[in-house]
A and B are shown apart, each in its own frame.
Chain A
Amino acid sequence: MADGSIGTPAIGASVRRREDYRFLTGQGTYTDDINRPGQVYAYILRSPHANARIGGIDTSAAASSPGVVAVFTGKDLEADGIGGLPCGWLINSKDGSPMAEPPHPVLVTDRVRHVGDHIAVVIAETLGQARDAAERIDIDYAVEPAVVDSVAALRPGAPLVWEQAPGNVCYDWHLGDSAAVETAIGKAARVVKLDLVNNRLVPNAMEPRAAIGEFNRATGEYTLYTTSQNPHVIRLLMGAFVLHIPEARLRVVAPDVGGGFGSKIYHYAEEAIVTWAAAKVRRPIKWTADRSESFMSDAHGRDHVTHVELALDADAKFLALKVSTLANMGAYLSTFSTCIPTYLYGTLLAGTYTTPAIYVETKAVFTNTVPVDAYRGAGRPEATFLLERIVDLAADELGIDPAELRRRNFIARDAFPYQTPVALQYDSGDYQTTLDMAMEAAGYAGFEARRREAAGRGKLRGIGIATYIEACGIAPSAVVGSLGARAGLFESAAVRVHPTGSVSILTGSHSHGQGHETTFAQLVSDHLGIPIDSIEIVHGDTAKIPYGMGTYGSRSLAVGGSAIIKAMDKVIAKGRKIAAHLLEAAEADIEFKDGEFTVAGTDRSKSLGEVALTAYVPHNFPHDELEPGLDETAFYDPKNFTFPSGAHIAEIEIDPDTGHLTVLNFTASDDFGRIVNPMIVAGQVHGGLAQGIGQALLEGCVYDTETGQLLTGSYNDYAMPRAADFPNFVLSTHVTLCTHNPLGVKGCGEAGAIGAPAAIANAIVDALKHLGVRHVEMPATPERLWRTIQEHQTRAAAD
């Protein structure tokens, strides 16, 4: 369908999405929609126990069940020399020693370490037959005690998840100047302290993960269709580390993907299983998770236990911040798990403030749970939550308005570039303006009247502010390499101008809801001066795209978009040479604007299409100087992170009799740098807010502490946010440009999930502080709120 095709309404226009037609008519192609000739189905047998030694696995009955093609266990993989799933980031402990890095087998052999751990795969003609046969696999389990939370895992005598990790410690990392922090705390007028938990979440992209493996006997080529945010990364990890297949013989396709939120970054066992087994059984193999499997096999998010101290001087200026965190890693190290509670967390603890001394230590802990990795925001929501909670608590203790305390401590808008004490250098921002905008839009000044009105109805009303900073546009490769990353984090793009002037953009970014087919086309339309209809955005297939690091960390526009700009500039540079030849002018005199190459000061010009045709039909062409064709590739490695920021304000009301909470208003004022498509940006913020409010009020992954069973393993038990849980959101944006990428963009994908939890939590405490409440853990369910109110009322009565 032709959308956004009138003229070139490029940057800054709410161009309606070009991808929508296929999704609205049921013509999207998600992995599970794909069927390959001769396809069979895989069912993964998963552990029902959190920690058990496996004495033996008898697959004989399953193997002879109706329709079964093959049954494989970890021993079969071992016999083939199949490697384990790699971890992409090495973290060193305080003492310089490397993290404990136990194996992460594709299928376990001798022990299961969490409920849902992969034991065997049954491949059959139908999924029903595979599932039926899996029930006939006999496993000799010796069940042992399990440990699921990070505090318990560190206690002496706790069940040990890995021999290689004494005390269940993966690493004990730190960042910042401990001595400076202790000195500042020693001379502070006040030190505010808080213990808090960042609750464990299950990402729950609506499309469950799926994978189809295929092997071509004639060519020796493997193809994997998978629900991935970064198909090239999967090709690299699975090809190089797990299956030992050279890139040239492994194609990875990530077609339409139904949401990711981080959970589809990682290389998962099922991808390796179907790819490897496809060659064994010589048939394409499809695996699709059901939702229960998603709950026990998709990487989870958050799960921090933290102690924080904020030191202030007599003028309420922040002197120092001290943070100590336990981060639950689960039973295995997922692909990027180790960098989340360290370099995507500790480095963000300056927030929007001038705090001169910061020290953070993070102990990463193994438990008998699903691996924990990045989930929307990834480290930055955790940093923002503790920082904005302790700032509000300090405001309350000092009797200063929370907005005023923030104002006193903001990094000034003229202080950029600003070097924080935790390694980052912010390039631009204007925190006071976004806060002012949010306060204005939220009617902050008139709140006390609304609180009184609510109190007259017997309701407890609260307002909460959170400001945030995030590090996006991930990431400068040399910087992250020096911090332990085992990958580069550039992006690539190819701009292929076809002979008749239409353009294909091959981007390494991956869209799983972000609307790249529209936003990127706007960029190209603006830069090359051609209609959006002439532009095709191609992504998600290693056979088509030169290379790609994929989409996460709000990096697509800042890094992927910059690569597209760079490649377009190469096209324009070559086009100028061709145009100069055609127009018999000096190259230096050729200007490119609105799709035309013009001899400066004249009306003599050649369109991009004419230049392209000449490049592909090079009869009159400067062959001694140029190659034919107009097809350029660029790689862009960012010079720095980008630093989106903003202020979120929540207004809530609690019924003290029931604990029922209503979100009355939610206001977000964000600085994302230049905005290409405001409609898509608003959509990203809405979604992030819903996940952030979901974390604050509804969502929490719960394991049974005795048995290690996953208690929230379905939508009957895990509270997903629904439409009636939210008000309409009130959004605004303020622009300070990123100073180091060509577009001036910062990224918008994670902001909502970063700011919202603290804003909601602060509003709740504001509503309850008259009862003596200092903090309420998330999710603040009606039961938790009711109990909190009851306990404090009882305590107040006793006093």
Chain B
Amino acid sequence: MQKTVSLTVNGKPATATVEGRTLLVQLLRENLGLTGTHVGCDTSQCGACVVHVDGEAIKACTLLAVQAEGRNVLTIEGVADGDTLHPMQEAFRNNHALQCGFCTPGMVMSALDLVKNNPKPTEKEVREYLEGNLCRCTGYHNIVLAIIEGATVMRGETPPVAPHGPAHGVAAE
């Protein structure tokens, strides 16, 4: 049975006709063409589909599309300011916190949620918070560094020197 859902996505009104069983992540990807939100599992473990709904991080595979009626959804496509990366995105880039990029949108959305609730997370807090996001490429090392750097910039502070050296500098040895 088809239903029409109206919601706000990345600040713009959106409407889609979906089945009762359609998940929010399917609505975003298939109806709205917002393919930055990924599906990496079928048990709500991997976190590749994390988006913000009314300001809260949520796995978009755990919500039916019809449950998003009238709600405000932010996806990875809505995070940057035009062509300028959000400080958290920039920190991911600066710290080589992504390789294949598949988990990355969910990681960034989770990182933003963490910093919203805990503006100055410790390494341990970051690692524990990422319990719901799987990455197979990075060993999480650089993701943790990136989130700490992103949080620092979001607080308006100057981050420590990037562990990989300046972005264009010649590396040691």
On A, residues with C-beta under 8 Å from B are: 1, 3-4, 6-7, 9, 12-17, 19-30, 32-33, 128, 204-208, 256-259, 261, 290-292, 512-515, 678-680, 682-683, 686-691, 714-716, 720-724, 726, 728-729, 733, 735, 752
Determine if B136 is an interface residue (Cβ-Cβ < 8 Å).
yes
Q: A17-B96, A683-B96 are in contact. Are A714 and B42 (CB under 8 A)?
A: yes
Asked whether, in the complex, the Cβ of A19 is within 8 Å of the Cβ of B168, the reply is no
Distance A729 CA – B135 CA, assembled complex (angstroms): 16
Residue of A256, A679, A726, A735 with highest tally of chain B CB at under 10 A: A679
Q: Using an 8 Å CB-CB cutoff, how does the interface string of B19-63 with A read, 1 for contact, 0 for none? A: 101000000010000111111111101101000000000000000
Known: A3-B167, A679-B171, A683-B99. 19 other contacts (CB 8 A): A4-B168, A13-B170, A14-B165, A16-B94, A20-B93, A21-B85, A24-B80, A24-B93, A24-B108, A25-B36, A25-B77, A256-B100, A258-B102, A678-B171, A687-B99, A715-B45, A723-B128, A728-B141, A729-B141
Q: How far is the CA of A20 from the CA of B143 in the complex (A)?
A: 13
B98 on the interface (CB 8 Å rule)?
Answer: yes
| Structural contact, A25 and B76, CB atoms closer than 8 A | yes
- Check A733–B171 contact: CB distance below 8 A: no
Query: Would you give the shortest CB distance from A101 to chain B, in whole angstroms?
Result: 32
A291 to B37, CA, bound (A): 16
Closest Cβ–Cβ distance, residue A374 to chain B (whole Å): 16
Chain B residues with a Cβ under 8 A of chain A: 19, 21, 29, 34-43, 45-46, 48, 75-77, 79-80, 83, 85, 89, 92-94, 96, 98-105, 108, 123-124, 126-128, 130-131, 133-144, 164-165, 167-171, 173
CB atoms of A7 and B85 under 8 A apart: no
Instruction: Point out the residues of chain A lying under 8 angstroms from B102, CB to CB.
Output: 28, 30, 205-207, 258-259
6 contacts between A and B (CB under 8 A): A9-B170, A16-B167, A33-B35, A207-B100, A290-B41, A714-B43
User: A29's closest neighbor in chain B, by CB?
Assistant: B35
Instruction: Report yes or no: B139 in contact with A686, Cβ–Cβ below 8 A.
Output: yes
Q: Are B130 and A25 in contact, with the CB atoms below 8 A?
A: no
Task: Report A-chain residues with C-beta under 8 Å of the C-beta of B143.
Answer: 723
**Bound Cα distance from A733 to B104, whole angstroms:** 27
Are A716 and B45 in contact, with the CB atoms below 8 A?
Answer: yes
**Chain B min CB distance to A228 (Å):** 13
The closest CB in chain A to the CB of B131 belongs to A722
- Give the contacting residue for A686; candidates B79, B128, B141; CB below 8 A: B141
Most buried by B among A13, A23, A208: A23
- Beta-carbon contact of A19 and B101 below 8 Å: yes
Task: Write the chain A residue with the least CB distance to B123.
Answer: A728
Q: Are B130 and A722 in contact (CB under 8 A)?
A: yes
Pick the most buried of B96, B127, B140, B170: most chain A CB atoms within 10 A of its CB. Answer: B96
Q: Which residue of A lies closest to B22 (CB)?
A: A128
Which residue on chain B has the smallest CB distance to residue A23?
A: B101
Q: Is A291 touching B168 in the complex (CB atoms < 8 A)?
A: no
A16-B96 CB under 8 A given contacts A678-B171, A723-B127, A728-B141: yes
CB atoms of A14 and B127 under 8 A apart: no
B164 contact set on A, CB distance < 8 A? 14, 678-679, 682
Q: A293: nearest residue on chain B (CB-CB)?
A: B42
Of all chain A residues, which has the CB nearest B128? Answer: A724
Scoring B98, B128, B136 by chain A CB atoms within 10 A of each residue's CB, the highest score goes to B136
- A290-B42, A678-B171 are known contacts. Are A258 and B100 too (CB-CB below 8 A)? yes
Task: Give every chain B residue within 8 A of A512 (Cβ-Cβ).
Answer: 100
Name A's interface SS: loop
* A26 and B83 contact, Cβ closer than 8 Å, known pairs A9-B169, A20-B92: no
Q: How far is the CB of A54 from chain B (nearest CB, A)?
A: 27
A20, B85: Cα distance in complex, Å: 11
Residues of A within 8 A of B171 (CB): 12-14, 678-679
What's the least CB distance linking A37 to chain B, in Å? Answer: 14
The answer to whether B168 touches A26, judged by C-beta atoms less than 8 angstroms apart, is: no
Query: Does the CB pair B98–A24 fall under 8 Å?
Result: yes
Chain B, interface SS category: loop
C-alpha gap A290/B89 in the complex (Å): 28
- Asked whether, in the complex, the Cβ of A715 is within 8 Å of the Cβ of B134, the reply is yes
A726 to B41, alpha carbons, bound, how many Å? 22
Q: How far is A688 from B141 in the complex, measured between Cα atoms in Å?
A: 12
Q: Which A residues are CB-close (under 8 A) to B140?
A: 686, 690, 722-723, 726
Roughly how many angstroms separate A414 CA and B110 CA in the complex, as a whole number? 51
Given A512-B100, A722-B131, decide whether A24 and B92 contact each other with a Cβ distance below 8 A.
yes
B141: which of A205, A726, A733 is its contact (CB, 8 Å)?
A726
| Given A25-B36, A26-B36: A515 in contact with B136 (beta carbons within 8 A) | no
Please name the 4 residue pairs, one residue from A and one from B, whose CB atoms are nearest each other, closest first: A26-B36, A23-B101, A258-B102, A690-B139
| A256 and B138 alpha carbons, distance in the complex (Å) | 17
- Counting chain A CB atoms within 10 Å of each CB, which of B80, B99, B135, B167 scores highest? B99
Closest to B134 in A: A720
Inter-chain CA distance A17–B99, complex, in Å, is 9
**Min CB gap A86→B, angstroms:** 27
**Alpha-carbon distance A512/B34, docked complex (angstroms):** 21
Chain B residues whose C-beta falls within 8 Å of the C-beta of A679 in the assembled complex:
96, 164-165, 171
Contacts A26-B35, A680-B96 given; indicate if A723 touches B131 (C-beta within 8 A).
Answer: yes
Once the chains are docked, how many angstroms separate the CA of A514 from the CA of B98?
10
Contacts of A728 in B (CB 8 A): 123, 141, 144
CB-CB under 8 A from B94, the residues of chain A are: 16
> With the chains together, A290 CA to B42 CA distance in Å?
6
Complex-state Cα separation, A3 to B99, whole angstroms: 16
A299 CB to closest chain B CB (Å) equals 15
Closest to A752 in B: B139
Report chain B residues within 8 Å CB of A722. Answer: 130-131, 134, 140
Q: Is A128 a contact partner of B135 (Cβ separation < 8 A)?
A: no
Interchain CA distance A598-B94 in the complex, whole Å: 38
Evaluate contact between A28 and B101: CB separation under 8 angstroms: yes
- Do B139 and A259 have beta carbons less than 8 Å apart? no
Q: Which residue of A lies closest to B104 (CB)?
A: A23
Please state if B142 and A15 are interface contacts (CB–CB under 8 Å).
Answer: no
Contact of A715 among B35, B41, B85, B101 (CB under 8 A): B41
Alpha-carbon distance A22/B92, docked complex (angstroms):
12
Q: Is the CB of B34 within 8 A of A724?
A: no
Residue numbers in B under 8 Å from A24 (CB-CB) = 76, 80, 85, 89, 92-93, 98, 101, 104, 108
A15: chain B residues within 8 A (beta carbon): 167-168
Q: From residue B164, how far is it (CB to closest CB) to chain A in Å?
A: 4
Q: How far is the CA of A714 from the CA of B134 in the complex (A)?
A: 13
Q: Are B99 and A515 in contact (CB under 8 A)?
A: yes
B36, A28: Cβ atoms closer than 8 Å:
yes
